[in-house]
Amino acid sequence: MRYIILLEGTNPAGPPPEGLMAGIMQLGDEATRSGALLDNGGLAPSALGAKVAVAGGELSVVDGPFAESKEMISYAIYDVRSKEEAVEWATRFVRLHHESWPGWEGEATVLKVFGPEDFPPQS
């Protein structure tokens, strides 16, 4: 089963601590070696993005930055046996940020990616 994990967070003043980046690389390497991590990447600040929406029958495009206090900062796609395993990888990633970067606050959203096994066979 594939899951996408989206990380949102606040960035305390200054760059991320060096130990955090080393920890991220180590955790990513472990997840890759285990065969669980399929893809991951950092995301640019919302100031470089846009939102496309439909509300009240009208389509709108709004350039960033967005008003949310937290930024979407990274994503990872895992192929794991269960939601619990995906949650464990997300927990380790969030814990690493919390322990390595004083003042950092954030959250990870774990979402299942539909696959062929989620739909009945077409007759």
- Residue ranges of the domains in the chain? 2-115
pLDDT bin (cut points 50, 70, 90) of residue 75 is very high
With a CB cutoff of 8 Å and minimum separation 6, the contacts of 23 are 96, 100
Place of tokens 């990872």: 76
Using an 8 Å Cβ cutoff, are 75 and 95 in contact?
no
Model's pTM, two decimal places?
Answer: 0.88
What is the tally of helices (H) and strands (E) in the chain? Answer: 2, 6
In the chain, where does DSSP find H-type helix?
18-33, 83-100
Residue 120 confidence class, pLDDT cut points 50, 70, 90:
confident
Q: Which is higher by pLDDT, 113 or 117?
A: 113
- Give the phi and the psi of residue 53 in degrees, each rounded to 5: -140, 160
Share of the chain above pLDDT 70, in %: 100
The CATH classification of domain 2-115, taken from the options 3.40.720.10, 3.30.70.1060, 3.30.70.260, 3.30.365.10: 3.30.70.1060
